[in-house]
């Protein structure tokens, strides 16, 4: 690590002799594999951008020149070249480096961007601001993957960037043919056509076909000219999409050739207007397990062996695997079921259904808005779509859920993986917003299963609903053992029937087990706690009001934001029912939570057995003594 350890910032990269760059790239890859195999993280994307990142920092003077990463999970090499080698061993750990760009870490991190397709919008705004303030010596560079180009925001930005012929924005397309999985759609086909054959090879191929298909003897000159024109059109058509909009196109460039990338970037910088530099890279480059992993090229690394990349076999299925198996079984029973995802087929558990019914699974690319409105169209056409997203990504399609799905009373089921605190991916990936923002959607039903059994049950109930949208949310990781039900009260699962009836605790989803632990602790202190799990948390079950009347305090416990969440909805329901029992909501504070393990983040928010027990003891009024 002699070369890498000598780098304190981009100036050291620019001063490094060109002959030493291959050794630097090798050291970077060695550190990436060694560290990420221990901490977890996005290994494949960063192995693929080593040379590209070196070239960027040799051509541009960060932070004076602004380099924006879309998405931020491909910025590990950027961190290493901007003075963060020493902290890299604690990547994604509490107190260590974030797994995404972080403005608190470095002035070289411009945007904390971990949701795709947005960097070009930032770049457009930055370039406009620099033009307005006379800062003509600052370059704005946006690095975007081909997968992120499937998102609508990227093309909204391109539409504006291309319109300003004298405003320099450099778009670097990191084209590895994949997002999480292989990139899909027309954009993928366009880039594939550009990278698989250069202009000369395409011209030769056209020439051979023309000679073979068009006899020269007796052929009218007009037909020959027409064939030439058609061939030239085919030759330049892929680039024409960009150049026709006003973007100068450079490429394709071998993204693993530092000198070639440098040359292209220097040409782009000197052009003086918007430029697209098309760099072809290989995800997982330089590490055999990633190169041969056709599933996801070690995109999100959860393995332990830095030599083989071997997985540790899971002892119990994850929430995602439970859902995927149940959806596959349901699809076999119900031919009207289809599934939609936004470039997250394997992460959301759709492999089983795709294997059995590939024609009924649609991956639309990184385009959540399109996914949701397309689902509305599918429902209108007589099928039942199941839209599978990470909870944090549903935020991007709220308007479509509200006005395209709910307004039309479409029977669409949304399955939100990674709901609540996800932990080490940091603030952008905590799925803590859904329970708050979805409360305002008319006619929407929300289920938060507490274990595998209730997840299966809720999914089967959700796909029966045809007159409006349904949502099922569950966290990252492995569900706890199925929790026994003591009794049921009008659709409420009673997990603990406490005596005396001091505290009614309403638990949401996977925090039901935590609620039971708290009830045990309070029982030792002489307090009776009734623990209930509605499973379907919206609309609020009216039975909660009846139980609340019999208890002295109501406590709600949820893995979501307290503002406008389930607890707030229950409090409103009790007010409407004229129940005066005080309600205390316990959940996540409305702030962006730092990265760390899920248990660490929950502890920071006071969601632990000791802290909840202490707080409940403080709010339960003392019993009146009888004479």
User: Are 80 and 158 members of one domain?
Assistant: yes
User: Are 77 and 125 members of one domain?
Assistant: yes
pLDDT surpassing 80 at residue 195: no
- Closest listed residue to residue 402, CA positions, set 425, 376, 429, 382: 376
With cut-offs at 50, 70 and 90, classify the pLDDT of residue 176. Answer: confident
What CATH number does the domain containing 124 carry? 3.40.50.970
Out of 473, 508, 529, a domain closes at 473
For all residues of the chain together, what is the average pLDDT? 87
Question: How high is the pLDDT of residue 314?
Answer: 61
Q: What is the pLDDT of residues 358-377, one digit of tens each?
A: 999 999 988 999 999 999 99
Q: Which of 33-42, 190-199, 321-330, 585-594 has the lowest mean pLDDT?
A: 190-199
Q: What is the pLDDT of residues 509-556, one digit of tens each?
A: 999 999 999 999 999 999 999 999 999 999 999 999 999 999 999 999
Residues annotated within the binding site for thiamine diphosphate are: 73, 114-116, 147-148, 176, 368
Print burial letters for 224-238: b (CB count within 10 Å at least 16), e (below 16). Answer: eeebeeebeeebeeb
pLDDT surpassing 70 at residue 311: no
pLDDT surpassing 50 at residue 164: yes
pLDDT surpassing 60 at residue 443: yes
More confident residue, 316 or 457: 457
- Closest listed residue to residue 99, CA positions, set 119, 76, 115: 76
Query: Does the residue 305 lie in any domain?
Result: no
Rounded average pLDDT over 262-266: 96
Question: How high is the pLDDT of residue 37?
Answer: 83
User: Are 466 and 516 members of one domain?
Assistant: no
More confident residue, 494 or 86: 494
For this structure, is 282 an active site residue?
no
Question: How high is the pLDDT of residue 73?
Answer: 84
User: Are 393 and 521 members of one domain?
Assistant: no
With cut-offs at 50, 70 and 90, classify the pLDDT of residue 183. Answer: low
Q: Which of 157-161, 187-191, 204-208, 599-603 has the lowest mean pLDDT?
A: 204-208
User: Are 65 and 176 members of one domain?
Assistant: yes
User: Are 524 and 547 members of one domain?
Assistant: yes
Do the bridges between strand 503-507 and strand 529-533 make them parallel or antiparallel, or are there none, so unpaired? parallel
| 414, 368 contact by CB (below 8 A) | no
pLDDT surpassing 70 at residue 338: yes
Rounded average pLDDT over 130-151: 92
More confident residue, 168 or 596: 168
Question: How high is the pLDDT of residue 517?
Answer: 96
Residues 6+ apart with CB under 8 A from 22: none
Rounded average pLDDT over 174-181: 69
What CATH number does the domain containing 509 carry? 3.40.50.920
Rounded average pLDDT over 31-51: 88
Query: Does the residue 234 lie in any domain?
Result: no
Active-site pick, 66, 79, 283, 445: 283
Task: Return the half-sphere exposure (C-beta side, CA atoms, 13 A cut-off) of residue 489.
Answer: 19
Query: Cis omega before residue 500 (within 30°)?
Result: yes
Number of structural domains (the chain) is 3
Residue 252's SS3 state is: strand
With cut-offs at 50, 70 and 90, classify the pLDDT of residue 206. Answer: very low
Radius of gyration of the chain (CA): 28
Active-site pick, 27, 368, 573, 600: 368
With cut-offs at 50, 70 and 90, classify the pLDDT of residue 224. Answer: low
Q: Which of 65-69, 106-110, 161-165 has the lowest mean pLDDT?
A: 161-165
More confident residue, 388 or 217: 388
- Closest listed residue to residue 322, CA positions, set 470, 510, 451: 451
User: Are 495 and 468 members of one domain?
Assistant: no
With cut-offs at 50, 70 and 90, classify the pLDDT of residue 268. Answer: very high
Question: How high is the pLDDT of residue 172?
Answer: 96
User: Are 278 and 398 members of one domain?
Assistant: no
Question: How high is the pLDDT of residue 325?
Answer: 97
Opening angle at CA 291, ends 288 and 296, nearest 5: 130
Q: With pLDDT > 90 as the criterion, what percentage of the chain qualifies? A: 63
User: Are 101 and 136 members of one domain?
Assistant: yes
Residues annotated within the binding site for Mg(2+) are: 146, 176
Query: Does the residue 106 lie in any domain?
Result: yes
Active-site pick, 79, 396, 445, 476: 396
| 418, 431 contact by CB (below 8 A) | yes
Out of 406, 441, 473, a domain closes at 473
Query: Does the residue 218 lie in any domain?
Result: no
User: Are 432 and 532 members of one domain?
Assistant: no
Question: How high is the pLDDT of residue 236?
Answer: 47
Question: How high is the pLDDT of residue 309?
Answer: 58
More confident residue, 217 or 121: 121
Q: In what order do the strands lie in the sheet with 492-496?
A: 487-489, 492-496, 529-533, 503-507, 553-561, 583-588
Question: How high is the pLDDT of residue 520?
Answer: 95
Q: Which of 253-267, 421-435, 449-463, 465-479 has the lowest mean pLDDT?
A: 421-435
Q: How far apart are CA 232 and CA 331, in angstroms?
A: 48
| 447, 537 contact by CB (below 8 A) | yes
User: Are 394 and 342 members of one domain?
Assistant: yes
- Residue 509 lies in domain: 487-619
What torsion do the CA atoms of 31, 37, 38, 42 make, to the nearest 10 degrees? 90
Q: What is the pLDDT of residues 58-107, one digit of tens each?
A: 999 999 999 999 878 889 999 999 999 888 888 888 888 888 888 888 99
Rounded to the nearest 10 degrees, the angle between the axes of helix 258-271 and helix 50-59 is 40
Residue 20's SS3 state is: helix
Out of 414, 448, 473, a domain closes at 473
Query: Does the residue 526 lie in any domain?
Result: yes
Beta pairing partners, 69: 143
Q: Largest Cα–Cα distance of the chain, in whole Å? A: 120
Query: Does the residue 415 lie in any domain?
Result: yes
Query: Does the residue 516 lie in any domain?
Result: yes
Question: How high is the pLDDT of residue 17?
Answer: 95
Query: Does the residue 92 lie in any domain?
Result: yes
Rounded average pLDDT over 487-498: 93
Q: With pLDDT > 70 as the criterion, what percentage of the chain qualifies? A: 84
For this structure, is 558 an active site residue?
no
Question: How high is the pLDDT of residue 316?
Answer: 87
Q: What is the pLDDT of residues 6-15, one digit of tens each?
A: 999 999 999 9
With cut-offs at 50, 70 and 90, classify the pLDDT of residue 212. Answer: very low
User: Are 468 and 496 members of one domain?
Assistant: no
For this structure, is 233 an active site residue?
no
More confident residue, 626 or 320: 320
């Amino acid at each position: 690590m002699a070369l890498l350890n000598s780098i304190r910032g981009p100036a050291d990269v620019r001063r490094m002799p060109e002959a030493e760059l291959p050794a630097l790239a090798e050291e970077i890859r060695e550190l990436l594999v060694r560290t990420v195999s221990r901490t977890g993280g996005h290994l494949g994307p960063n192995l693929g951008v080593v040379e590209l990142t070196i070239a960027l920092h040799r051509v541009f003077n960060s932070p004076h020149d602004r380099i924006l990463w879309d998405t931020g999970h491909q910025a590990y090499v950027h961190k290493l070249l901007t003075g963060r080698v020493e902290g890299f061993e604690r990547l994604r750990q509490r107190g260590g480096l974030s797994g995404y760009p972080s403005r608190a870490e470095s002035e070289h991190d411009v945007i904390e961007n971990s949701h795709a397709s947005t960097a070009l919008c930032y770049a457009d705004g930055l370039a406009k601001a620099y033009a307005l303030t006379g800062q003509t010596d600052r370059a704005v560079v946006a690095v975007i993957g081909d997968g992120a180009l499937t998102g609508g925001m990227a093309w909204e930005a391109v539409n504006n960037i291309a319109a300003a012929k004298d405003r320099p924005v450099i778009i670097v397309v990191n084209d590895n043919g994949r997002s999480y999985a292989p990139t899909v759609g027309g954009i993928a086909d366009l880039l594939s056509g550009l990278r698989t054959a250069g202009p000369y090879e395409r011209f030769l191929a056209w020439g051979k076909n023309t000679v073979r298909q068009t006899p020269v003897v007796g052929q009218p000159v007009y037909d020959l000219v027409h064939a030439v024109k058609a061939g030239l059109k085919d030759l330049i058509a892929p680039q024409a999409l960009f150049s026709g909009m006003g973007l100068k196109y450079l490429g394709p460039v071998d993204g693993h050739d530092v000198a070639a990338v440098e040359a292209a970037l220097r040409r782009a910088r000197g052009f003086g207007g918007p430029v697209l530099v098309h760099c072809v890279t290989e995800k997982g480059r330089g590490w055999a397990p990633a190169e041969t992993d056709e599933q996801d090229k070690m995109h999100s690394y959860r393995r332990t062996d830095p030599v083989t990349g071997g997985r540790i076999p899971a002892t119990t299925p994850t929430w995602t695997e439970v859902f995927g198996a149940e959806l596959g079984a349901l699809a076999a029973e119900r031919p009207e079921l289809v599934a939609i995802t936004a470039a997250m087929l394997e992460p959301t558990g759709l492999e089983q259904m795709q294997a059995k019914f590939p024609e009924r699974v649609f991956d639309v690319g990184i385009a959540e808005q399109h996914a949701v409105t397309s689902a509305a169209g599918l429902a209108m056409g007589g099928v039942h779509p199941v839209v599978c997203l990470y909870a944090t990504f549903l935020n991007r399609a709220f308007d479509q859920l509200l006005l395209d799905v709910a307004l039309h009373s479409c029977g669409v089921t949304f399955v939100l993986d990674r709901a609540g605190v996800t932990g080490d991916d940091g603030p952008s990936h905590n799925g803590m917003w859904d329970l708050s923002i979805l409360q305002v959607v008319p006619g929407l039903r929300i289920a938060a299963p507490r274990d595998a059994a209730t997840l299966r049950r809720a999914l089967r109930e959700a796909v029966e609903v045809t007159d409006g949208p349904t949502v099922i949310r569950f966290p990252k990781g492995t569900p706890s053992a199925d929790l026994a039900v003591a009794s049921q009260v009008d659709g409420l699962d009673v997990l603990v029937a406490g005596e005396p009836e001091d505290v009614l605790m309403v638990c949401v989803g996977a925090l039901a087990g935590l609620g039971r632990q708290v009830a045990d602790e309070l029982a030792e202190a002489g307090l009776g706690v009734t623990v209930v799990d509605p499973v379907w948390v919206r609309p609020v079950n009216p039975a909660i009001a009846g139980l609340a009347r019999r208890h002295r305090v109501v406590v709600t416990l949820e893995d979501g934001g307290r503002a406008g969440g389930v607890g707030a909805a229950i409090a409103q329901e009790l007010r409407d029912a004229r129940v005066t029992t005080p309600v205390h909501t316990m959940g996540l504070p409305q702030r962006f939570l730092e990265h760390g393990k899920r248990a660490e983040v929950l502890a920071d928010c006071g969601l632990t057995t000791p802290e909840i027990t202490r707080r409940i003891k403080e709010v339960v009024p003392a019993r009146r003594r009888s004479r």
